[in-house]
Amino acid sequence: MFSWSRGHGVCVVAWTHVPRRQQQLADLLDGDTIIVDTARSKQSAALRYLRAAVETTIRLWRRGPSVVIVSVPPIPTAVVVYMVSRLLGFRFLMDSHPGAFGLMGDETSRRLSAIHRFLVRRAQYVAVTTEPLAREVARLGGIAGLLHEPPPPGRAMSSLVSGYVFFPGSGGRDEPYELIFEIARAMPDWKFLATGSPGHKVGSTPSNLQLVGWVPVAEFERLLYSALAVLVLSSERESVMRTAYEACYALKPLVVSATPATERYFPHAIHVRNTPANISDGLLASVGLEEETLIRQREQAVRTWNSQFLILKSTVDRLLSP
């Protein structure tokens, strides 16, 4: 291995166009980020990943961090970080989303599952969303811990309500986006506002549903904090959605798809099956949630994050020690 004098910092690496999680994580660890947007380009996937690999390598070389946390998927991001770690001598950790395990309809990651298993065994730590995934990492010979979503800095309360249900669409393959159209038709007296995009045709848009597409972070926060309630849907059992945590931190009634994970980590939310009738019932019930329940919901989210982050922070501190 090429001899290199390592630096003394932490760097979070991701190939994404929405780096909110990575930036928060870097700030909490007094580190910095290397973010490469591979989505907003008309080039082929091979060319986009080649460009991202070169840019990531150069920026890691220039910064010389001691510890790198790499977000996956896409799995090629972790491949590049691992290869550069062999050259520069830094330690690397993985922040593995369920998609990295081939879940959530991520066929690319499923085809690269052997590579992901190889990387899991070589990472110093693998952050995952649920206990079953942590057990899978342990079975593969890795060291795993849970890591969800941190509270937003400087935000504690919300007093603005504009009377709409907020559906913070992410465009994920596990997200039944078409349901928001059906729910809006089933509840014509309610207003709905959705970000993101369904990715496919879902028919005409009901008059009580406003689609705003992708919005900047500041606008997203304004929409979130002004909502009457937040609706977060997923078809993936191992998904622990960032937007569900954001609803908790904003003290908003949360209506969320019922899975073992959401029932454990969002005990004060309203859990629903992914059907228009059941979701409509859940939204009607959300109106009656008391402020005390919303406060307990937020406190639960903060406790969960603090306990998870403490483990990650102690791991990073140990790796940074001389």
What average pLDDT score do residues 162-170 get?
A: 91
Separation between Cα atoms, residue 53 and residue 47, nearest integer Å: 10
Got the DSSP string for 266-308? -TTSEEE-SSHHHHHHHHHHHTT--HHHHHHHHHHHHHHHHHH
Q: Tell me if 286 sits within 8 A of 270, measured CB to CB.
A: yes
**For residue 1, what pLDDT band results from cuts at 50, 70 and 90?**
very low
Dihedral, 100, 103, 105, 107 alpha carbons, nearest 10: 50
Q: Which residue has the higher pLDDT, 157 or 190?
A: 190
Domains of the chain and any CATH numbers: 10-147 (3.40.50.2000), 164-299 (3.40.50.2000)
State the average pLDDT over residues 102-126: 93
In this predicted model, what pLDDT tens digit does every residue of 271-297 receive, in sequence order?
999 999 999 999 999 988 999 999 999
pLDDT value for 161? 65
**Which band of pLDDT confidence, cut at 50, 70 and 90, is reported for residue 4?**
very low
- Structure confidence by residue, pLDDT tens digits, 34-58: 999 987 667 787 899 999 999 999 9
Q: Is a pLDDT exceeding 50 seen at residue 2?
A: no
Task: Give burial (CB, 10 Å; 0-12/13-18/19+) of 270.
Answer: buried
d(CA 249, CA 175): 22
Averaged pLDDT, 93-114? 92
Residue 42's pLDDT is 72
Q: What percentage of residues in the chain have a pLDDT greater than 70?
A: 93
Check pLDDT > 70 for residue 5. no
- The residue-averaged pLDDT of 212-234 equals 93
Report the amino acid identity of residue 29.
L
Model pLDDT, residue 204:
86
Joined tokens for residue 180: 């928001």
User: H-helix or E-strand containing 192?
Assistant: strand 191-195
The CA distance from 111 to 107, in Å, is 6
pLDDT, residue 40, reads 66
pLDDT in tens, 76-85: 999 999 999 9
Cα separation, 74 vs 112, in Å, equals 10
Average pLDDT over residues 216-228: 92
- Give the up-direction half-sphere exposure of residue 41: CA atoms within 13 A in the CB hemisphere: 17
- What is the model's pLDDT at position 241? 94
